[in-house]
Amino acid sequence: MVSRVIPVAPFDLVIFGATGDLARRKIIPSLFHRFAVGQMLPETQIIGAARTEMERLAFVDLIRASLLEFAPQAAENETQLAGFLNTLSYVRVDADGEAGWSVLADLLRPEAVRAFYLSVSPTLFGTISANLSAHGLASPDSRIVVEKPFGHDLASAQALNADLRRSFDEHQIYRIDHYLGKETVQNLMALRFANSLWEPLWNSTHIDHVQITVAESLGVEGRGEYYDRSGAMRDMVQNHLMQLLCLTAMEPPSKFTPDAVRDEKVKVIEALEPVEPANVVRGQYRACDGQGSYRDHAGDPQTHTECFVAMKVNIGNWRWAGTPFYLRTGKKLRARTSEIAVVFRDPPHMIFPKMEGRRGNALIIRLQPDEGITLRTTIKEPGPGGMRLAEVTLDMTFVDALGPQAEAQDAYERLIMDVIRGDQTLFMRGDEVEAAWAWADPVIASWHEARQVPSLYDAGSSGPEDALMLLHRDGRRWREIEA
């Protein structure tokens, strides 16, 4: 199957923080890939804006080096690389001063789609958006893109929203959660809403429970001090896992438009029941095999911040009452793997002999690695030994089914092109972010009130024992974390 690349009209993209880590690792390599396949046209302007004084050529050299490191195929075609670098310019802009704004204004073309990407600390969102507005750069159709962390709690998220909305309308604001740009996450919507097979089963009558796992094998080495100010609940659960939960649990929107989809997601978050402390397990990896512990990496021997969370979440609505969602995420676990497992109920009456170790039907949507879908089914064990049952999986990896073009693009490629096309479906709306914080805040507060100490686990394991108990006591078990 050959995918069609539909070019987007030349645009002007201003990247604030263009010399920073995210821009060099993700944003610029993603743009390069879109250029290489012909979606981003040579007439596009990528304007780097940062506070460092720098000549255009120095900026181009920096970006060339970043591409060779983070998009190695850039080295294979010098003409293409030169073509991409040709779209770059650089302006020194003082985010909270006067320098640079008029130079930037002169570069922008009135007829081109205009987007401002704030790859900077959220403390600068308000100042930069106010300056864009004050200097006449923010046209009614221009877009502003912001990255997480979008707030630290409900109050700070509300303040950020208020800052942005002073200069931009909600339809111009693109809040990135890069999980929404992952191919399989979008496929979850296709699976649910483009097939008639699943929807009749997609409720508590037929689904026993759902497990959402985002496991990472790396720890927080190198960024422990920064990470320790947030922890897994803020860094992963409030945003990425919440998005996966919403897309799994939401009602079918009446149409595939940004607000129809986001309205349904907000309803799921608002239906989440408060989480009882007994239904949450927090963890930290301990020192093991000569490798440091979480506390070593965080640089604080006393820290109580968690780098692992497992929790049982109930959704209080007709579709899901009685079907818990178990969420689990952590650092330094056995493998890097992310999946959503929808586990179905057993048949109401079993006419065959009991099968040892039976786990039942499950639909597993794998986000990474090897994006694909697996359906666990029960069949007769082959051979003449009577009616013995066995469980097998129907496996489909997207690459096997669709060829190399299904190899996952970086989420940022899709998301940046959506910004230019003006499609907000895969971006979080302000009320959605606030609703997620309103749910997460009391959970975090309860840990502080109880002075709860995270449980320890070995690096390379599946997390703390208590996390296993969370399911065991409900007569269930987690799927293995394996690559």
Point out which residues bind ligand BG6 (CB under 6 A). 216, 235
Nearer to ligand BG6 among residue 228 and residue 235 (C-beta): 235
| 317 burial level (CB within 10 Å; 0-12, 13-18, 19+) | middle
Closest of 62, 73, 68, 81 to residue 15, by C-alpha: 62
**How big is the CA angle at 376 (ends 373 and 378), to the nearest 5 degrees?**
155
Catalytic residue among 135, 240, 297, 472: 240
427 — phi, psi (to 5°)? Answer: -125, 150
Q: Which residue has the tokens 């290489």?
A: 36
Question: From the CB of 214, what's the least distance to ligand BG6, in Å?
Answer: 6
The residue sitting closest to ligand BG6, measured at its beta carbon, is 235
Nearer to ligand BG6 among residue 12 and residue 228 (C-beta): 228
Closest of 248, 479, 381, 14 to residue 240, by C-alpha: 248
Nearer to ligand BG6 among residue 304 and residue 336 (C-beta): 336
Nearer to ligand BG6 among residue 149 and residue 422 (C-beta): 149
Where are the extended beta strands (E) located within 332-470? 337-344, 362-368, 372-380, 389-397, 455-458
Question: From the CB of 233, what's the least distance to ligand BG6, in Å?
Answer: 12
CB atoms within 10 A of CB 46: 26
Gap between the Cα atoms of 478 and 342, Å rounded:
12
CA 352, chain centre distance (Å):
43
Question: From the CB of 235, what's the least distance to ligand BG6, in Å?
Answer: 5
Cβ atoms of 40 and 9 within 8 Å: the answer is no
Q: Does 240 qualify as catalytic in the annotation? A: yes
Beta 280-286 vs 455-458: how paired, if at all? parallel
Question: From the CB of 229, what's the least distance to ligand BG6, in Å?
Answer: 12
Question: From the CB of 425, what's the least distance to ligand BG6, in Å?
Answer: 19
CB atoms within 10 A of CB 441: 18
Nearer to ligand BG6 among residue 100 and residue 231 (C-beta): 231
Cβ atoms of 132 and 29 within 8 Å: the answer is no
Nearer to ligand BG6 among residue 104 and residue 233 (C-beta): 233
Cβ atoms of 273 and 315 within 8 Å: the answer is yes
Question: From the CB of 148, what's the least distance to ligand BG6, in Å?
Answer: 6
Q: Which residues belong to the active site?
A: 240
